Every structure is written in C-alpha cells, then in structure tokens.
Structure 1
C-alpha cells in the first residue's frame, strides 16, 4: 500500500483481485464512524453528492473514505461486470476497517448496488444508497429492488425527485429509509428554475445523511 498525505486528507492505494484501487481519506477528529462511499459507473469521486458529504461529515465526527474502483484507477471508461465490482469492494474492505471503527458501506448508483450486495457478508454497520438505480431508464419492469431489500442491514436511500433510474415514489416499502432531493436528477443536479438552488439541494442531502448517521451511533 502507498500513501500520499495532504493537509486534510490522505490517499491510499490498495491491491485487490480486481486490480489496484484507491481510497481518499478525509479524517474526522474523534471519529465514531467511517462512511465508505464509491462512485458510479459513469464518473468518479468528484461527484457533487460525494464531495458534499466529504465536506460536511468530518465535522460531525464521521471519517469519509472516498473509494475509487480499480477500473477507474486504471483509467478505463467503462465499468466492468457487477461481479468484478464486488470483488474490488471486498478487496478494499480490510483497509476500510483498519481504523477500528464501524464502517457504513455506501456509494452512488452502481456503487450503491455494490454496497447493498456485499453489506451483510462484510458486516457493514449500514448502507447508504445514493441515487440507487432501481431500474434502467424507461424499464421499470427490470427492477433491482431485491438488491436493496436484501442488504440485511439498516439502509438509507437518497434519491432525486426526477431520477430516471427510479423516482422516490417507485421504491417498494422495506426496512430502509428514503429521502427525496426535490427536482434533482440522477446526479442530483437541479434545474436553474427550481425552487431550490444547487447548494440548497446538497445541504438537504448532506444534512439528511448526517442525521441518519447520528442515529446509528
């Protein structure tokens, strides 16, 4: 493992059976939890929701670990099959638990699916599913609800009100909480003419996640 330390964060490279992955740690003073969140199939850890959480949660005593899957570290443009994504996540897990704190597994879109599929076997404290892709756009019959409902641990879904991969009202009841970010799309972008600004949308998201995490510890 190699580490590069900056002013407020450090980057750690981790070898997995799917290739080399990377964790960017944003530490919290007196941390009580680690929130490990990965990106989706079409972007990286620069996603607005992940960055919003990284900016807010360390002040709430939650260390944030931004996880880059091996395919992303390798510079590839397309994510591999779900099985390979799960392999990469499993390989990262020992590094995520190294601080000796409970770890909440999370991610956005494809990363949320990975967290749900592996949470129980990895003994995650809970799952945070950002923009969970309940179904492909325009194909509600191809539901992935079983992944969310089968997570086996407490879960919170944060979903944009106009997400084509599944609007909040499409989610089935279950043992998970659900927070809607009004007017937001799959990337949590809100239209300029929406009644709330982009900053307000991110404040809503990060505030809801912080409150939920407070209830876990």
Structure 2
C-alpha cells in the first residue's frame, strides 16, 4: 500500500520530512543516489502509527515502511548570528577560503523580497554596477552585514533575515516597494568581490591611530 508519494520535495535535515528515518538516511547519501529503505517502527511512526493526512494514507501502528528515496540535490544551510536566527542557503559555492572581515569593502548583486515574493530592492542586475558598502559601518541592515561576512568570493546565497536583523518594527521605504513593520525579508546575494580591512597586526602606527579614531 502506498501511503505517501512526492516527485520532488525540499526539506532541511534538521526539520526532517515524512518520518525520522529520511533525515538520517540522506546524510549518508551522495547526489543522484537512489536507495530502498526498510524503516523499522521506531524510525517511522512507532506504536501510534499515523492517521490519514491530506493525500497521504494511514500508517498502521508498529508498521515497517519501505521507502524508495532519491537524493536529487542538496544545498548547504547555515545559521548566522549569535542567536542563529539568520538562515543562509548556499545556491552556488564560492572560491578559495577567505571571507570579508569587519570593515571590508564588498561588492554584491542582490535582490530583496518579502515573504510573499514582492521585490523591494534590486541592485547590481540588468547591467547596473554591483552594490558596494563597507561592512560593520551601519551602511546596510545588520543581517546583510552578517550574511556577507560569512560568504566567499563568487558565492551565491539565499538569506532569510528576521525583523530584528532587518527593518525591525518600523516601515521602510525601499527602491521598489515598502517593507511593512516586523517583516522577515529574503535576499538573494552574490558576493562579486571584496577588499578586506587590514588587521591590526598588518597596520603601521599611523594606520592604527586612524583606525582607533574611527571607533
């Protein structure tokens, strides 16, 4: 009896999907791999089973499941910030290992959207020059600063930023639309290039004095 069928579904390993076994299984798989899982009740729906849910059928108590599973693709998801509330999904891996530091000058292409898909800002696309700012200078919302300093050159990422790291409880007028108060916003960001701020041990005396004066 088929109790569930999905042609293609996306989920995070942390949150899982369908039953606990799937999240455990995909962590052992390679892209394009197909497997047949035999899922014991403790990794399925246990002693209680599962009632009918939408188009998915009933799973009886203590049922052993057989699952055909294919890992079509996967993307790295990281949680950013001290409280891990900013979520970054890498769409394209960057190059090298260096990332912008605080005070770096970054150039990016970005598209900002509300959760309903409304685009409120678009920079560096359609022939426009990349958007440039200096990190840790409050030139952009905090969530963008934190996101871009976690990226490598050439990386493309989808970043979900909660209100406290975006525009907070105030309405914000952006280039293409208003961002309502308490909005979670989503940015697609490509880090085109960056120039790192000199670390203190690389500065001469005059540069150290200038850097200290800015703080």
TM-score (norm: length of structure 1): 0.26
Larger radius of gyration: 2
- Select the structure that is richer in helix: 1
- Structure having the higher strand fraction is 2
TM-score, L = length of structure 2: 0.26
